[in-house]
């Protein structure tokens, strides 16, 4: 059985995938800091390896960190053992830099929204076996798409407001107009009920895990 659950009124979680990126992540962090908005960064291990200082900054400035695999493969096309290696490698590099682990996992590609096929569900199951909460997204403005403008990104987020609480953006890739759209979404969450992550009981997750995502959009297999 597959369940997707979690929705709270007047609360959003702002998430960024695919970084850290030496060009874009610092800009986003500056905006989040100025607006006093927390976020969660689902990081790719190979990008962390190339931007150790940025991961440390993400953590030091109070944002949450989630696992987005090491090389960003389509997990629906790889075997469970490869998925496990991707998760373990990224977890270890996060732990080595921050001194803390993570229990938050977002698979790349379609499995982060509405997994339907067995191939898309298997990564969720592997994540569960590795003691992760698989965090979905409910509002996806597709800020990566060709020709998208800042106005388009903001409008799509507003249009999808009724779909859920977790906004998916990216802190790697794109041109200036896309970065502007992400920035405006980040700023709009300040003072409008936008929240990041909340503390959770110390018994949750692995030792050294700082906090966890509330039930805003997790996928569970049972």
Residues 6+ apart with CB under 8 A from 98: 55, 56, 59, 65
Q: What is the pLDDT of residues 178-216, one digit of tens each?
A: 555 555 555 555 544 444 433 333 333 333 443 334 444
Quick one: 221 exposed, middle or buried, by C-beta within 10 A (0-12, 13-18, 19+)?
A: middle
User: In terms of pTM, does the model score above 0.95?
Assistant: no
Q: What is the pLDDT of residue 7?
A: 63
- What's the sign of the alpha-carbon dihedral 10, 149, 184, 42? positive
175 is catalytic: no
Per cent of the chain over pLDDT 70 is: 70
Average pLDDT, the chain: 79
- Domain architecture of the chain: domains with CATH: 2-221 (3.20.20.370)
Task: State the catalytic residue, choosing from 63, 68, 72, 170.
Answer: 170
17 is catalytic: yes
Q: What is the pLDDT of residue 174?
A: 55
Q: What is the pLDDT of residue 154?
A: 86
Q: What is the pLDDT of residue 193?
A: 44
DSSP reduced 3-state for 96: helix
Q: Which residues of the chain have pLDDT under 70?
A: 1-10, 110-116, 173-222
Task: State the catalytic residue, choosing from 17, 18, 21, 112.
Answer: 17
């Amino acid at each position: 059985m597959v369940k997707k659950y979690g929705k709270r009124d007047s609360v959003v979680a702002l998430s960024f995938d695919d970084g850290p990126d030496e060009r874009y992540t610092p800009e986003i962090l500056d905006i989040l800091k100025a607006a006093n908005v927390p976020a969660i960064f689902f990081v790719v291990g190979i990008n962390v390896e190339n931007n150790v200082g940025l991961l440390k900054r993400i953590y030091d400035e109070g944002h949450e960190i989630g696992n987005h695999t090491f090389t960003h493969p389509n997990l629906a096309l790889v075997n469970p053992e490869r998925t496990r290696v991707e998760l373990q490698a990224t977890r270890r590099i996060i732990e080595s830099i921050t001194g803390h682990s993570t229990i938050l996992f977002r698979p790349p590609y379609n499995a982060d929204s509405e997994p339907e096929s067995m191939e898309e569900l298997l990564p969720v199951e592997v994540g569960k076996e590795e003691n992760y909460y698989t965090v979905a997204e409910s509002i996806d403005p597709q800020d990566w798409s060709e020709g998208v403008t800042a106005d388009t990104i903001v409008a799509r987020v507003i249009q999808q407001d009724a779909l859920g609480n977790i906004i998916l953006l990216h802190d790697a890739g794109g041109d200036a107009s896309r970065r502007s759209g992400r920035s405006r979404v980040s700023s709009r969450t300040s003072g409008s009920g936008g929240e990041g992550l909340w503390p959770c009981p110390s018994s949750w997750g692995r030792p050294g895990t700082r906090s966890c995502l509330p039930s805003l959009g997790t996928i569970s297999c049972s």
